[in-house]
Amino acid sequence: MTGETLPLRFGGGRYEDRPPAPRLSLDPSALAAPLSSLEGVTPAVARRLEGFGLVTVGDLVRHYPRRYDDFRQRKQIRELRIDEEATVRGVVERVRADRTARRKVRVVKALVRDATGAVEAVWFNQGYLTRVLTEGAHLSVRGTYRPVGGRPQFVVRSHEILEEDEGEGVHTEGVVAVYPASEQVSARLLRSLVRRAVPVMRRLRDPLPAALRVAEGLPSHREATLAAHLPSGLEEAELARERLVLEELLLMQLGLLAHKREQQERVRARPLPAPGVLSTGFVAGLPFALTAHQQAALEEIDRDLGRAQPMRRLLQGDVGSGKTVVALYCLLRAAEAGLQGALMAPTETLALQHAHTAARLCGDAVPLEVLTAALGARERREALGRLAAGGPQLVIGTHALLTGDVVFPALGVLVVDEQHRFGVRQRDELVRRGEHDGLAPHVLHMTATPIPRTLALTVYGDLDVTTIAGVPAGRQPVTTRLVDEAKRAEGYAFVARQLDKGRQAYVVCPAIDESESIEAATAIAEAERLAAGEFARYRVAVVHGQMKPAEREAVMAAFTAGEVDVLVATSLIEVGIDVPNATVMMVEGAERFGLAQLHQLRGRVGRGSARSYCLLFSSSDTPGGQARLSALLDTTDGFELAERDLELRGEGQLMGARQAGAGDLRLARLARDREALVRARGLAERLLGADPDLAAPRHGPLRAAMREAFGTELGWLLKA
Ligand code: ADP
Ligand code: MG
């Protein structure tokens, strides 16, 4: 496909050489026109392009290069050096087809001459060239000069036939755009097509208002689009990319902010009265003083709860930063207003732990219901009856809260812990259940898996974000070590010394994606092995996902009470468990865990005042795994780790921006374009602050671009 030429020829001149286009605003149909409207696009070519996802001229214009090749330096034939890649131009003198020594591969050879000398250009497996390359043709060839069979030849990477004294070549000279391409649609074809779309590009309207463009020092949309496809230099291409990335991210941010506003305007909530004795008494009665960040979070939440729009807040705080008291505070705020406050946790263990904490810290001022799958039928029926009666209540549970017969007649506040573990549908379902008389609950999402700022702005771009930075004072950082297989015995000896001091330890078995039962079996076997071997002198217990909730709860309770020294667990131990006397976390098969997960596991220790340790056993030395583990050794800051994780894995594996309902990012890469994202967020806030509906005439093009990007997702855009 690389040798393909389009059925029609067109000049190789760059867009700057063309006469200036009239300053007409673009007829939108020019972008919507099918690619077959471009010169030379036959129905067969159009079908191939369609198979590649390019249907309209607009699709082509927004199919941006992946990178650029700098072929600006042209050489004279006499200047060619062995093994050096270069572009030369000359006239074809003689063409012949041949086969390689072993007669396998067809070779086309052409003698090319310029003013300084001649060289034999060779192509492999492109026999059709004997029909295309004619004597006297002006040829530009990009390739490498190297000895083939003892004789220096010019092995061609790409070539093009030029008109005599024609301007710069398209594929072999200048800065050459390299497009995402396929078998059917070559970069070469795309380069040719893009040149035919230049008249359309020259008339593109700028979605950004002129004032903003000037203030931000941005090239126009038209300039940027042309320069992205046909740059005269690499710097120009980079500037063009920056501008287009910013525009793309700005549209996304406008979409997310608009979505948020739409939610707020459509849905009402009960404004809660100012904090009463219950919530203020709770804070005053805590065995510790709140950190400044916790305090600030409560204040933000108080402001939210006083409004007639539902709170939609994401509370993110590193492991151990103290989110639970914030959650309980929210529930109490609902209860003292005579409403229900519900907390949904991702696992049984965690729900029960929250229930214990609530009972301990909130006393029995408000009735507490616990709703998990562990309840017997009668208990459940009774609990549901009390829920249905309404009135002030704290409700803590798992997704059992979402099953068919659960009703919340007066849900004031909903807290979703470790919200990333629930699907969006599950969360929406709970919010919907909580809606009553057209009133939605206030919702606080909590996560201890820090979301990189970057993603918070995209995936959660329609939530308000509160961050609890740092952990309460007096904590000691956890010492993290990678333990070689050879040092395993020393590792166990170290753990034993901690146990001898009365401390406790976790041993986490490798995560096994395919099967929870294999994971459970591994944990059981490991517990038996340790109880009979290294930890024979200690009390060893095991928890895993296949146990009945009541059994699991009993083991956890024993560990919490200090009746178990070593808890062998599957990865389910990951979230939320809070046993301050545990000072060692041993992770087997550490390379199988994600960075965020490992950070969570490490967060299970270092919760008391004693020094704590995280020992990572890893049998693999894959570069990816090593990079993750060494990131973990470098820092204990969950946010920094999350950013590192994003870099290592790329945003694709975390969450696509597409899932954010944010349209399609063609150019922006979240890991790379973070600064642009933050800038875009600021610009979007300013634009909507000044003109909430983007109704001003100067925002017409911006509205049009948003309508194109989001379609019917944003109702208000379609109103005007
Ligand atoms: P996470 O944010 O990971 O859910 P928790 O809410 O479980 O963290 O808090 C971790 C531990 O820190 C708990 O034992 C909690 O009682 C304690 N804690 C919370 N806030 C403070 C504070 N301001 N000062 C001291 N300890 C605190
Ligand atoms: Mg927690």
- In the chain, the amino acid numbered 458 is T
pLDDT above 70: percentage of residues in the chain: 85
Look at ligand 1, atom 12, and give the residue with the nearest C-alpha: 322
Report the nearest atom of ligand 1 relative to the CA of 324.
Answer: 6
Angstrom distances, CA of residue 431 to CA of 343, 402, 405, 408, 652: 12, 10, 15, 10, 28
Q: Which 3-state string (H, E, C) describes 368-436?
A: EEEECCCCCHHHHHHHHHHHHCCCCEEEEECHHHHCCCCCCCCEEEEEECCHHHCCHHHHHHHHHHHCE
If you average pLDDT over residues 401-423, what whole number do you get? 79
Exposure string of 190-213, with b = 16+ CB inside 10 Å and e = fewer, is bbbbbbbbbebbbbbbbbbbeebb
Encoded tokens for 287: 């065995």
If you average pLDDT over residues 269-282, what whole number do you get? 94
**C-beta neighbour count of 140 within 10 angstroms:** 24
Q: Mind listing the pLDDT tens digit for each residue in 326-337? A: 999 999 999 999
Query: 321 CA to middle of ligand 1, Å?
Result: 6
Contact 419, 390 (CB under 8 A): no
pLDDT of 613 reads 96
Query: 617 CA to middle of ligand 1, Å?
Result: 28
Q: Mind listing the pLDDT tens digit for each residue in 507-566? A: 999 877 667 788 888 899 999 999 999 999 999 999 988 888 788 888 988 999 999 999
Displacement of CA 17 from its chain's centroid (Å):
41
Query: 120 CA to middle of ligand 1, Å?
Result: 75
pLDDT of 663 reads 40
pLDDT of 164 reads 72
Query: 534 CA to middle of ligand 2, Å?
Result: 32
Which ligand is the nearest neighbour of the Cα of 607?
A: 1
Half-sphere exposure of 94 (CA within 13 A, CB side): 6
pLDDT higher than 60, residue 392: yes
Which ligand is the nearest neighbour of the Cα of 356?
A: 1
pLDDT higher than 60, residue 387: yes
If you average pLDDT over residues 360-380, what whole number do you get? 87
Query: 268 CA to middle of ligand 1, Å?
Result: 32
Query: 226 CA to middle of ligand 2, Å?
Result: 51
- In the chain, the amino acid numbered 292 is A
Angstrom distances, CA of residue 246 to CA of 32, 176, 552, 685: 23, 23, 50, 14
pLDDT of 358 reads 92
Mutate to test the pocket of ligand 1, among 321, 361, 609 (most ligand atoms within 8 A of CB): 321
Query: 334 CA to middle of ligand 2, Å?
Result: 20
Residue 329 makes CB contacts below 8 A (sequence gap 6+) with 279, 282, 283, 298, 301
Task: From 74, 87, 66, select the one nearest 177 (Cα to Cα).
Answer: 66
If you average pLDDT over residues 482-505, what whole number do you get? 93
**pLDDT-based confidence at residue 628 (cuts at 50, 70, 90):** confident
Which ligand is the nearest neighbour of the Cα of 318?
A: 1
Exposure string of 405-418, with b = 16+ CB inside 10 Å and e = fewer, is ebebebbbbbbbbb
pLDDT higher than 80, residue 217: yes
Look at ligand 1, atom 23, and give the residue with the nearest C-alpha: 290
User: 216-230, 462-476, 538-552: which range is least confident on average?
Assistant: 462-476
pLDDT of 422 reads 61
Residue 310 φ then ψ, to 5°: -65, 140
Query: DSSP characters for 270-298?
Result: PPPPSP-HHHHHHHHHSSSPPPHHHHHHH
Q: Regarding predicted confidence, which is higher, 8 or 421?
A: 421
Angstrom distances, CA of residue 421 to CA of 427, 447, 574, 652: 10, 9, 12, 18
If you average pLDDT over residues 14-30, what whole number do you get? 44
pLDDT of 713 reads 52
**pLDDT-based confidence at residue 620 (cuts at 50, 70, 90):** low
Q: Mind listing the pLDDT tens digit for each residue in 663-694? A: 456 777 766 787 888 899 899 999 999 998 88
Q: Which 3-state string (H, E, C) describes 177-235?
A: EECCCCCCCCHHHHHHHHHHCHHHHCCCCCCCCHHHHHHHCCCCHHHHHHHHHCCCCHH
Mutate to test the pocket of ligand 1, among 283, 288, 444 (most ligand atoms within 8 A of CB): 288
**pLDDT-based confidence at residue 165 (cuts at 50, 70, 90):** low
Look at ligand 1, atom 10, and give the residue with the nearest C-alpha: 320
Can you list the domains of the chain with their CATH numbers? Answer: 73-172 (2.40.50.140), 277-468 (3.40.50.300), 478-635 (3.40.50.300)
Q: Which residues surround ligand 2, an ion (CB under 5 A)?
A: 576
Mutate to test the pocket of ligand 1, among 314, 325, 573 (most ligand atoms within 8 A of CB): 325
**pLDDT-based confidence at residue 350 (cuts at 50, 70, 90):** confident
pLDDT of 17 reads 34
Q: Mind listing the pLDDT tens digit for each residue in 182-215? A: 888 888 899 999 999 999 999 888 999 999 999 9
Query: 576 CA to middle of ligand 2, Å?
Result: 4
Q: Report d(CA 172, CA 194) in Å as an integer.
A: 16
**pLDDT-based confidence at residue 658 (cuts at 50, 70, 90):** very low
Which ligand is the nearest neighbour of the Cα of 351?
A: 2
Report the nearest atom of ligand 1 relative to the CA of 317.
Answer: 2
Computed over every residue of the chain, the mean pLDDT equals 83
pLDDT higher than 90, residue 394: yes
Q: Regarding predicted confidence, which is higher, 456 or 468?
A: 468
Contacts within 8 Å (CB) and 24+ apart, 659-665: 659/459, 660/252, 660/256, 660/458, 660/459, 660/461, 661/255, 661/256, 661/259, 661/713, 662/252, 662/255, 662/256, 662/458, 662/461, 663/251, 663/252, 663/255, 663/709, 663/710, 664/709, 665/248, 665/249, 665/252
pLDDT of 412 reads 94
**pLDDT-based confidence at residue 448 (cuts at 50, 70, 90):** confident
pLDDT higher than 70, residue 698: yes
pLDDT higher than 50, residue 22: no
Contact 227, 240 (CB under 8 A): yes
Task: Assign residue 548 a region (left: φ > 0; alpha: ψ between -120 and 50; beta: otherwise).
Answer: beta
Task: From 572, 576, 578, select the one nearest 559 (Cα to Cα).
Answer: 578
pLDDT of 563 reads 96
pLDDT above 90: percentage of residues in the chain: 41
User: 25-34, 417-426, 684-693: which range is least confident on average?
Assistant: 417-426
Q: Report d(CA 321, CA 607) in Å as an integer.
A: 10
- List pocket residues of ligand 1, CB cut-off 6 Å: 288, 290-291, 294, 317, 319-325, 448, 472, 578, 607
What is the dihedral sign for C-alpha 705, 708, 709, 714?
Answer: positive
Query: 121 CA to middle of ligand 2, Å?
Result: 68
Half-sphere exposure of 679 (CA within 13 A, CB side): 15
Task: From 255, 416, 287, select the one nearest 360 (Cα to Cα).
Answer: 287
Q: Regarding predicted confidence, which is higher, 594 or 382?
A: 382
Q: Report d(CA 314, CA 443) in Å as an integer.
A: 9
